[in-house]
Amino acid sequence: MKAPSDSRTWLGGKTRQVLLRRALIKSMGYTDEDLSKPIVGIINTWGETNPGHYHFRQLADAVKRGIWASGGFPLEINTMSICEVFFDISSLIYRNLLSMTTEELIARHPFDGVVLIGSCDKSVPAQLMAAVSADKPMIFLPGGPMLPGNYHGESLACGTDSFKIWTKYQAGELNDDDLRDIDGCMYGSVGACPIMGTANSMQTATESLGLSLPGSASAPAVSAEKMRFAEESGRQVMNLIEKGLKVSDIVSMGAIRNAITVLMASGGSTNLLIHLTAIARRAGIKLELSEFQKISENTPLLVDVKPAGKGTVGVEFHQAGGVRALMKELEPLLDTSVMTVSCKTLAENLKTAPTSYNREVIAAFDKPFKSEGGIAVLHGNLAPRGAVIKRSAASQELLKFKGEARVFDSLAEAEKYLLDENSDMDVDKAIILRGYGPKGAPGMPEFGNYMPIPPKLYKKGIKDYVRITDARMSGGAFGTVVLHVCPEAAAGGNIGAIRNGDTIILDVDAGIIKVELSDEEIAARLKDTKFESKEEFERGFVRHYIDNVMQADEGCDFPYL
């Protein structure tokens, strides 16, 4: 039997169940006065294995202040917290699990509305997927970006700069003592990694979808401003409850397109193609890769922050005006009729939005950093259902490439080859890493950025080369890396047919990724090729994931959700 989903139903009538419900709430010290108010769930992803969420206890207290002050009764509940670094397997697997548990918490509890608190790259999409499916009045509080670190006067931003530091270490420019000094200087505070990686791209998406308060996404995690946004989110959820404004009233095709437009203009993470597709599917919206490409072609790149640029999200981008100022520049491309959690349309919100305070960080619409968006979609016989590349973080000279494949079914073997001074690796080689897709790894890990810059190339001043994989890449990474090749090798994809010496053709402007093989040759090779998951799982959620996960172009969700 479906449980009552709102407080009035849950506490209505004169039954023994209602007696028990009231008595159990009073056992925690609450009163009849509290029980007369709308119940608001605060779903908190705090955890000590997640630096991005470490400050959420304090944020939740501020949210409660806003709910109490506006006549609500807040009840906080915790769910799992996902940080990529702490998991010993790809954390994308647990996005779906967090989504399922969060949906059940929202749907099955007597919450009249909810405030979701999240920051990190799998947590935010999981929570939004759940909110769309449960469909109650909801406001999302982005936990905010961390402050950058600093080492010997140089600003450092976590993952992005770690790749550069590690390349210098492997080339012998840094020693072990240098690394120990640097690792205490890379992160300036708790919060989401401060570049426009997946975490901040997703927080930016919550605001551009209309699901967070205007201005809240880029406010630093440890700022007084973030605390004020937390309290205001608690106040605002009461307005959403009063008006009966649910997630389904906000998440429309127009809102999704707005989020994609902001993604392309900000140079955001390729992982959002997976996450936004999954969120759209939960809303009953079929989102094709072609939609991303069309929007990218018509959207200028306006933001200069790492990994594609110089600044950080919580400092330079936020001080330049953040998402509000960026959307103000993009207004001609946006559907401004969409509703937002402010209980106003986007058009109404943008009336008071600032223009950019710093044109070197958020450029003018007619004077962009680049004329096209940061991400491109590719197709061809190597990726019949598509692949993606972060054009804004790639090397211009490699966006059109023809060269020999060097194929690896193991990351360890690829690393061994790339680090070998005596290998035949050069810039005319394309490294193919396969078998690491949704089913194959399992969980589609961020191995696109794990293939190092060969020291032999680095010493020649060469800092990039072409990499192609059915895995993902960290949103904080950079380089000419073709990702999400679909179908993956473990699902019978054509990437499984490539052999050493095959000719690879990449033309990003033309949207092409292909191998010079006939369809017949590809089919013949695939007959004799089979890819199993890299690790064996006989039971548990990971086994369930392998058996049920959909491909990257479908959002890596489960079909029954």
- Convert the pLDDT of each residue in 209-228 to its tens digit: 999 999 999 999 999 999 99
Per-residue pLDDT tens over the stretch 257-305: 999 999 999 999 999 999 999 999 999 999 999 999 999 999 999 999 9
For residue 462, being part of any structural domain is answered with yes
Give the CATH number of the domain where residue 108 resides: 3.40.50.2300
Cα separation of 468 and 388, whole Å?
A: 10
Does 237 share its domain with 160?
no
Residue 73 vs residues 32, 63, 234: alpha-carbon distances, Å? 11, 11, 10
Range of the domain at 158: 149-182
pLDDT at 534: 84
Contact 60, 44 (CB under 8 A): yes
pLDDT at 1: 38
Give a yes or no: residue 263 inside a domain: yes
Structure tokens at 426: 């050069």
Residue 154 and residue 254 in one domain: no
Q: Does any domain span residue 322?
A: no
Q: Which of 182, 204, 230 is the last residue of a domain?
A: 182
Of 499, 294, 269, 229, the residue nearest 390 (C-alpha): 269
Query: 250: closest CA among 341, 333, 125?
Result: 341
Residue 332 lies in a domain: no
Same domain as 383, residue 278: no
Looking at the structure, do residues 169 and 156 belong to the same domain, yes or no? yes
> Domain end: 288, 314, 338, which one?
288
Grouping H, G, I as helix, E, B as strand and the rest as coil, residue 302 is: coil
pLDDT tens digits for range 413-441: 999 999 999 999 999 999 999 999 999 99
For residue 525, what is the domain's CATH number? 3.50.30.80
Residue 357 lies in a domain: no
Residues 282 and 411 in one domain: no
- Taking residues 252-256, report their average pLDDT: 98
Residue 113 lies in a domain: yes
* Global confidence as pTM: 0.95
Given 182, 206, 227, the domain boundary residue is: 182
Dump pLDDT digits (tens) for 303-337: 999 988 899 999 999 999 999 999 999 999 999 99
**267 & 411 share domain:** no
**Could you give the CA distance from residue 384 to residue 20 in angstroms, rounded to a whole number?**
58
Residue 515's DSSP bridge partners are 504
- Asked if pLDDT for residue 3 goes beyond 70, the answer is no
178 and 249 housed in the same domain: no
One domain for residues 447 and 488:
yes
pLDDT of 2: 54
Domain tally, the chain: 3
Separation between Cα atoms, residue 308 and residue 394, nearest integer Å: 8
Query: Is 64 inside any structural domain?
Result: yes
Instruction: Please tell me whether residues 171 and 272 are part of one structural domain.
Output: no
| 360 belongs to a structural domain | no
Alpha carbons 498 and 515: distance in angstroms, whole number = 8
- Are 97 and 194 contained in the same domain? yes
Q: Do residues 89 and 155 share a domain?
A: no
Q: Enter the tokens of residue 481.
A: 């890396």
Tell me, yes or no, whether 143 and 171 share the same domain. Answer: no
